[in-house]
Structure 1
Amino acid sequence: MPHFHDPVARLDGAIKRYGRLTALDGADLQLRRGELLALLGPNGAGKTTAIALLLGLIRADAGTAELFGQEPQRIEARRRIGVMLQNAELPPTLRVGELLRLTASYYPAPRALAESAELAGVADLLRRPYAKLSGGQQRRVQFALALCGRPELLFLDEPTVGMDVEARQQLWAAIRRLVAEGCSVLLTTHYLEEAEALADRVCVMSRGRMIHEGTVEALRARVALRRVRCLSTLSVEAVRDWPEVSEVRRDRERLHIATAAAEAVVRRLLDADPRLRELEVQRAGLAEAFTELTRDAAAAADTDQREAA
C-alpha cells in the first residue's frame, strides 16, 4: 500500500537524449501530496521534457519516472491527474459546456460542471464556441478542463500566459483553493512572481539538471544581494564608484542600490548625506536569485566542458 508521505510524482536519475542533445541529464524530482512545486529554468533547461516523462508521453533513456508509484503510462495513474499544457488542440466548434462535459466523462468521479466552471472563472462562457474565445479565455477553459476530473495531481505548464492581471489573480486564487483541498500541483512558469506567490517549494533547472531545490526563502538566501533604497541628493556617479556597490540607478529623487555589503553601504550613505531620508533595505527577490543561480550553473557547465575537451 502506498504511504501518505510517498511522492505523488518522482524522477530519479532521469536521462533523455534526442540525438546528440541531452535534454535531461540525471534529473531528480519529488512532488509530495498537497504541495505546489514550481519548476523554474530558462528555455531549453529541460522543464518540458521532465513533464513529458511524468505524463508518460515519452520514456526515459535511463533512470525512472513514476506517478503514484506506478509507470506514468498506466491508465490507473493517469486517471488521477489533470493537465494544462502550453499548447492545447481542442475541437474549435464545440461549446465550452460541451468540452467540459466531454472531458469530465473520462474520469470516475468528476466535479459537477457548474463547480468546475465557477472555479476556473468560465461560468459566463459555457454557451460560447471555443474558437470564438480570446486567448486568455481559452486558457481559462483549458484550466477548467484540467481540474474537472477532481485530480489528485495537477500539471500546469505556463498556465497564465496570455491572461490579463485580473484573470491571473483569479487563477492564482483557484490554484490556492485546489491545494488547500489536498491537490498536488506541479507548476512551470516564466513569471517569477507567480512562483513567489504560490509555491511551497521551487526546483531550478539548467541544462537538463536540477541545480537547486528548496523553499522560495532558501532560494532567495542563496543570493547575497540586498536592495537599498533612499531619498538622497548624492549623484549616481559618486555612489557607483563605491567598491561595495554592484549597481545603482536613480528614479527621480530616490536612489536604488544593489549590494552584497548592505551595512557598509548604509554607513557610507549616512556619512555622505546627512539629509538622507526614507532608507529601506530589502533582500533580493526571486528574480535575482534565479538569474544568479542559472548563470553560475551555466558557467560551471562551460568550465567542465572545456576541461573535458
Structure 2
Amino acid sequence: MSSPVIKLEQVSKRYGNKEVVNNISLEISRGSVVAILGPNGAGKTTTMKMMLGLSTATSGLVTVLGQKPNHTQVRQKIGVMLQDVSVMDGLTVREIISMVRSYYPAPLHADHIEELTGLPPADLNKRAEKLSGGQKRSLNFALAMAGNPEILFFDEPTVGLDSETRRHFWERIRQLAQEGKTVIFTTHYLHEADEIADRIILFNRGTIVADGTPGNIKAGITIRTISFSTTHSMFTNDDVSNTEMASVVDVRAQIEELPDVDGIEYHKDRYILHTKNTDVLLRHLIERGIPVSDIRIETGQLDDAYANLMESMKEEI
C-alpha cells in the first residue's frame, strides 16, 4: 500500500488564546477525492492552509508528499484554486498562461492548458478583465493545472458557475482522479460532496467529527424511514365491529413493539417508522407476519446527515 500524499499528526493551530484546530490527525491517499465540510469557523479553511504551507501548525506535524508543505518541490507539485477569483488585468489569457507555465520546471503544454480553460480560440486573446465571472473561474482552474500537479486544492470551486459548466468541471475532476491525482475541495453545495467525493471529512469546532465515505456518513448520522399501509385501517367508525377493532389494535401494538425503531409517525393511512437500519427493521416486519403493503424505504441525503450532526453538536453545548 502506497504511503499517504498528505499526513497530519496531532495538529493544532491557535491564534492567541483561541484554538482553531484542536489535535487532529488524518491521512489522505493518492488518487482520492476528498471533501472537507463544516460550518464557518469549524477549522476546515485553517486546516487546508496548513496543508498548503500558508499557515504553520502551532503543534503537531504536517507533511505533503513526505516533506514540509512549503518546500519548493512540494509547491511545484500542487495546484490551487481559491474561492476568490482574481486575474491579472492588462494581460491576455494566453499571456497569463505563458507566465504561469514559466513558474514550473515541467509544465503542461500550453495547448492543453488553453483547452482546459474551455474558452474558444478567439477569447484566448482577450484581456483577462474582459472575461465573465464564470470564464475567469474556468481560467483559474486551467492555471491550477499549469504545473501538472499531483495534488489539487479547490476552495468552493463551483460558486457562480451555471449548471452546465459545473457539470463539466466535475467530469474533469473525476478524470483527474482516475489519472492518479489527489483532489481536496471545500464546498457548501452538499450534493456535490455527496456525488463527487469518495471521502468526506466533517469539521466542527476545530475537530473532526465524522470521516468516511458519503454512504457511511449518511448511514451513521441520518435517520431512515420505512413507511407502509396495513390491511386494517388505523381509523375507525361506527360500522366497525368489535372484532375488527381488536384486530386494528393488535396490529398497532405489534408495530409499536418492534425493535430498532427510533420513532413512529401516523400519517393518513400510513405508518412511518424511523430507524437507523432499514434492512433489520424490514426483516422484523416480515418475520412477525405483520400485514403490511405498499412498503416504501427512504434514505436521508447528506444535507440531512449534516443538519442532524450540527443539531446534535448544539445539544452537547
**TM-score under structure 2 normalisation?**
0.78
Superposition deviation, residue 177 in structure 1: 0.9
CA distance in 2, matches of 1:259, 1:120: 47
**Residue 100 in structure 1 maps to residue 115 in structure 2:** no
Aligned to 2:159, which of 154, 158, 161? 161
**Residue 216 in structure 1 maps to residue 232 in structure 2:** no
Give the aligned partner of residue 306 of structure 1.
Answer: none
CA distance in 2, matches of 1:29, 1:245: 33
Between 73-82 and 87-96, the greater mean CA deviation after superposition: 87-96
Alignment deviations for residues 88-121 of structure 1 (CA, whole Å, 9 cap, x no partner): 4331222222212211111121111222232342
CA distance in 2, matches of 1:120, 1:173: 14
Give the aligned partner of residue 184 of structure 2.
Answer: 186
8 A contact 1:121–1:170 mirrored in 2: no
CA distance in 1, matches of 2:171, 2:263: 37
8 A contact 2:199–2:213 mirrored in 1: yes
Aligned to 1:138, which of 118, 136, 161? 136
CA distance in 1, matches of 2:222, 2:182: 32
Give the aligned partner of residue 309 of structure 2.
Answer: 293
3-state DSSP of counterpart to 1:70: coil
CA distance in 1, matches of 2:126, 2:314: 47
8 A contact 1:206–1:298 mirrored in 2: no
* Distance 1:211-1:141 versus aligned 2 partners, 3 A rule: same
Alignment deviations for residues 271-292 of structure 1 (CA, whole Å, 9 cap, x no partner): 99x9x86x53221111111222
CA distance in 2, matches of 1:147, 1:172: 14
**Residue 47 in structure 1 maps to residue 62 in structure 2:** no
Alignment deviations for residues 232-259 of structure 1 (CA, whole Å, 9 cap, x no partner): xx99xxxxxx9979798x9xx9x9x783
What is the aligned-residue RMSD (CA, Å)?
3.2
Report matched runs for 1:12-91 at 5 Å.
12-91=9-88
CA distance in 2, matches of 1:74, 1:183: 19
**Residue 174 in structure 1 maps to residue 172 in structure 2:** yes
8 A contact 1:53–1:59 mirrored in 2: yes
CA distance in 2, matches of 1:20, 1:123: 51
CA distance in 2, matches of 1:118, 1:42: 35
Give the aligned partner of residue 275 of structure 2.
Answer: 260
Unmatched tracts of structure 2, length 5 or more = 236-254
Report matched runs for 1:1-16 at 5 Å.
5-16=2-13
Which protein shows a greater Rg? 2
Report matched runs for 1:196-211 at 5 Å.
196-211=194-209
* Distance 1:181-1:246 versus aligned 2 partners, 3 A rule: same
CA distance in 1, matches of 2:145, 2:263: 45
Give the aligned partner of residue 283 of structure 1.
Answer: 299
8 A contact 1:200–1:216 mirrored in 2: yes
3-state DSSP of counterpart to 1:118: helix
* Distance 1:135-1:229 versus aligned 2 partners, 3 A rule: farther
**What is the letter of the counterpart of residue 138 of structure 1?**
K
Superposition deviation, residue 204 in structure 1: 0.6
* Distance 1:225-1:61 versus aligned 2 partners, 3 A rule: same
Superposition deviation, residue 58 in structure 1: 1.2
**What is the letter of the counterpart of residue 304 of structure 2?**
E
Aligned residues: 282
Unmatched tracts of structure 1, length 5 or more = 236-241, 303-309
3-state DSSP of counterpart to 1:126: helix
Give the aligned partner of residue 250 of structure 2.
Answer: none
CA distance in 1, matches of 2:133, 2:225: 37
Give the aligned partner of residue 251 of structure 2.
Answer: none
* Distance 1:8-1:64 versus aligned 2 partners, 3 A rule: same
CA distance in 2, matches of 1:6, 1:206: 27
**TM-score under structure 1 normalisation?**
0.80
CA distance in 2, matches of 1:101, 1:247: 63
CA distance in 2, matches of 1:210, 1:99: 38
Give the aligned partner of residue 128 of structure 1.
Answer: 126
8 A contact 1:54–1:72 mirrored in 2: yes
